[in-house]
Amino acid sequence: MTKSKILLKEILDEFSQILNRITEQIKNANNIAVIGHVNPDGDCVGSQLGLVLALNKIGKNAIPINEGKFKGIYKEYYEKHFEKDITNEYDLYIILDVPNKDRAGGFSNKIDFQKTIVIDHHITNDNFGKINWVSDKFIATAEMVFILLISMDFDFKECEVSQYLLNALLSDNGFFQHIRNDKYLSLLVSYLMIENGADSKISYDLMFSNNSIETEKLFALALQRLSSIYDGNVMWTYLTEEDKKKFDYPNFESGLVFREMMSIRGVKVSVFFKIDEEQNKIDISFRSTDDVDVSQVAASFGGGGHKVAAGVSVNGEFLDIKKQVFEKLEKILQKT
């Protein structure tokens, strides 16, 4: 047996009980709703569509349901496949990448929770399903969906299932930047997806070769305004609603700007302000290196997120808010 086959067998053995229970439920169901979280990300929508395609291929009537809002490439390429509400009764509800009932969306009261399977890699998951497969061994829910399909002997040939799942996996593992020694399964699973027909170049182009000229112009503007404080430990910049109107691009994504800011030598924290003067509103997003916890800063303004990626929306005057943010950051940096 090759090393990859041995590792795969180890995973299938480790999770055999839960995988059998899930497979049993799928076998006995005909109409299946596949649900994801509100404001879906790449892992969510890719896992949903990958699983739906696979279930359809084995003769089930599976429907992807997500309330939205869809943004960027997911709006462009994925949204059209989704229903936004639960309008039928289903034999089974498979809920992917959703840590608690509320995150499923406004329609969660229409879900029969006696008929639910929750599959998720967030360790904070409430285990709100009838059957719950929750494991933080995985960086993406898509990895778990793929393992489930392998355990069901799904035939990946001549379908887009492994491509959707690879797109999803790479979006959550940040094209391998989040691999850690306790989260190496992502490597194995992506290898297996590619072996089953997925192409990482397609995933890359979907994510990184999809910018419009308006995006690039706004991106350039944000970079031009880049400033550095605290000996280069903190980079920050901003865009206003006016800027977005001028370039006719209301849905500017901050990912591009963060990638550049975090690439600067010595940077520990990046801050991106989106200023809406008319509404007196400022969206603040943070990224940081592993040793700085920016979720604390976001939380102090009532926001939240992860240790290295967090955000908050506040009301107030920009100069005043900026001063408060920088004071909080200075305190956190002094501790590192």
Chain positions contacting Mn ion, by CB under 5 A: 43, 97, 141, 172
Min dist. Cβ of residue 171 to Mn ion (A): 8
Phi and psi for 143 in degrees, rounded to 5?
-65, -40
Q: Which residues contact 265 (CB under 8 A, 6 or more apart)?
A: 232
The closest of 258, 279, 256, 273 to 312, measured between CA atoms, is: 273
Instruction: Give the nearer residue to Mn ion in terms of CB position, either 168 or 218.
Output: 168
**The total number of residues written for the chain in this structure:** 336
Min dist. Cβ of residue 43 to Mn ion (A): 3
The closest of 139, 150, 123 to 4, measured between CA atoms, is: 150
Min dist. Cβ of residue 121 to Mn ion (A): 6
Min dist. Cβ of residue 96 to Mn ion (A): 8
Beta bridge partners of 34: 64, 94
Min dist. Cβ of residue 138 to Mn ion (A): 9
User: Which residue sits closest to Mn ion, CB atoms considered?
Assistant: 43
Instruction: Give the nearer residue to Mn ion in terms of CB position, either 43 or 243.
Output: 43
Q: Which residues contact 159 (CB under 8 A, 6 or more apart)?
A: 53, 54, 57
Instruction: Give the nearer residue to Mn ion in terms of CB position, either 103 or 268.
Output: 103
Say which DSSP state 113 is in. Answer: G
Cα gap 251→253, rounded to integer Å: 6
Instruction: Give the nearer residue to Mn ion in terms of CB position, either 97 or 243.
Output: 97
Instruction: Give the nearer residue to Mn ion in terms of CB position, either 43 or 293.
Output: 43
